Copies of this chain bind each other. A is one copy, B any other.
């Protein structure tokens, strides 16, 4: 097992390529991993939201983790999502993904069930107590409809329950509160990662340890370059690279909002881009997402071209 602490750098949430009949396309998945590793990323996060974890069966989830950890062979850390509604179900996923070789698990607040800060804390404590690997909290209000309170996260970090936070809330002010709180309290072994692909430079400038950008599937080199510019203190260069990536991210809106939701559009665009770039064999997304049409895919191609990607 690879030590994941401290987590830092660019850790893409790895897309899950599917075959036309919606099975996991392992060869494409491994080519995608190679593409990311060649781009210089510092870790991998499988079974996240951009991985369509919510759409994968338990069998498919296991296959993804086994395939990726075996292929990576410890060269870089592999985190795995254990995305489910409540503690008992999450614990089953933790057991499954760690048996399959994951070096850390990423866990959201409870969802579907109505929750409460006291129950969120209880959830993470129970998961961490049973997990053989470090636990990273995943703050994603758009999916779970709860924002992880900064004070809850900091208390859990101080108590050694959490090894990190992946913040996909888009709320930089709250993110900063965790970053400075962890520093101010001298909490060690706790990493703060942003999941917002459009403000990675701001998050790193504010003290983040790293980023988990879905768009890094499409352009890992860009995010690694952005990370390096930030680390070297070249903030003007970082801003320019971030703005290029923001423009590229525009691809998530290629679809007609009367025809599908924003998730179908975004994941469809990422996969279309990976297909156009020759990384994966088939751009299919899981059911019940609506597929992109040809003109929408063509628009994805224009975003790639405008960003200098072919």
Contacts and interface: CB of A to CB of B under 8 A. Distances in A.
Count copies of this chain in the complex: 4
Given A111-B112, A205-B202, A235-B235, A288 B119 contact: yes
Contacts of A172: 170, 172, 198-199, 202
Contact of A288 (B83, B126, B246, B261): B126
A177 B253 CA distance: 13
Interface stretch (A39-47, A49-57, A158-166, A292-300): A49-57
A290 B289 CA distance: 33
Nearest to A87: B287
The CB with the most chain B CB atoms within 10 A, among A91, A113, A119, A235, is that of A113
Given A83-B112, A115-B261, A123-B288, A58 B206 contact: no
A258 interface: yes
A86 B286 contact: yes
Interface in A261-302: 261-264, 286-290
Interface stretch (A28-36, A71-79, A142-150): A142-150
A116 B173 contact: no
Given A173-B170, A173-B196, A198-B176, A122 B290 contact: yes
On chain A, which size bracket covers the interface? 35 or more
A1 interface: no
A79 B264 CA distance: 31
A89 interface: yes
A247 B246 CA distance: 30
A307 interface: no
Contacts of A287: 86-88, 122-123, 126
Contact of A260 (B118, B247, B264): B118
A196 B196 CA distance: 18
A259 to B, nearest CB: 6
6 contacts: A87-B287, A112-B144, A119-B288, A122-B287, A126-B287, A199-B202
Given A118-B259, A118-B261, 5 more contacts: A54-B85, A86-B288, A113-B289, A122-B290, A173-B246
Interface of A: 22, 49, 54-58, 60, 83, 85-89, 91-92, 110-116, 118-120, 122-123, 126, 142-145, 170-173, 176-177, 180, 196, 198-199, 201-202, 205-207, 233, 235, 239, 243, 246-247, 258-264, 286-290
